[in-house]
Structure 1
Amino acid sequence: MSLVRNSITIGGLTLVSRVLGLLRDMLMARYVGAGLASDAFLIAWRLPNLFRALFAEGAFAAVFVPLFNKKMTEAEREKAQTGLTAARTFASQVLSVLFPFLVLFTGLMMLAAGPVVWAMTGGFPDGGPEKFALARHLTIITFPY
């Protein structure tokens, strides 16, 4: 019964997230419209979302969760320490490597915002230098997300 309840909870929260995303897009289209600002914002928002998906929801999560679980079960089997203590130690070791990497990566991406935005957009040939400059500035603001 717990599996069904948990599945309904996750499914329901995913549905709420999708509905709120649709509402956000509708409000943006209504109040910002299609143009220089919305194009620049969407490019600037796409970059942090791409890397968040890679680092937090993609390969990292696919590797970390099974290893975390393995550490818990191995420690409990060996009775050396509690499974939760071993798993927390493992998590802190991973975080001590991942956090400095992400800080450095974020800093580099903020410094290289111009070339990265240009690579994604081709310099906005249809929008001119103002659109590119705005996208670059918004990328610097949104990337730490």
Structure 2
Amino acid sequence: MDVLNEISKLQDEFISLESDKERDAFKLKMRDVLSRKNKKELEEFHEAIQVKANETIHVSEALINEVNFKKALEDIVPAITWSYIAEHYFGKSRSWFSQRMNGYHVNNKEAEFSKEEKNILADALMDLSDRIRNSAHLLKEHCL
């Protein structure tokens, strides 16, 4: 079994643990696994753990970014006509926009906004907020 595969199986096993007793048993298992490795195998194991840790960090950062993106919009999602934004600011369809907003799979890949598209969306929301504010000021002027 290659080292990355071994690490993945151990990681999956660790994630499935539910009690302190199971985690203690896993620690003993890990000591046993490591004690049976020679110096070269330990170095390979160490390098593989670093690779897996970096992968996990990358996945975690992507999840955090997605949560932050959705959190930033949660207050306005029900109040905005997203089809208008899709058409007028992106020149795209409502379904294209919805795929990215909801992370739907398109062509076997999770659809997401690129950094540039997120900037366009932010600019669109700023433009709309300015337009809404201007409309509110005009209403107040005409209602007085």
Bin the TM-score by the shorter chain: 0.3 to 0.5
TM-score where L is the length of structure 1 = 0.37
> Of Structure 1 and Structure 2, which has the larger fraction of its residues in helix?
1
TM-score where L is the length of structure 2 = 0.37
Q: Higher relative contact order by CA 8 Å / sep ≥ 6: 1 or 2?
A: 1
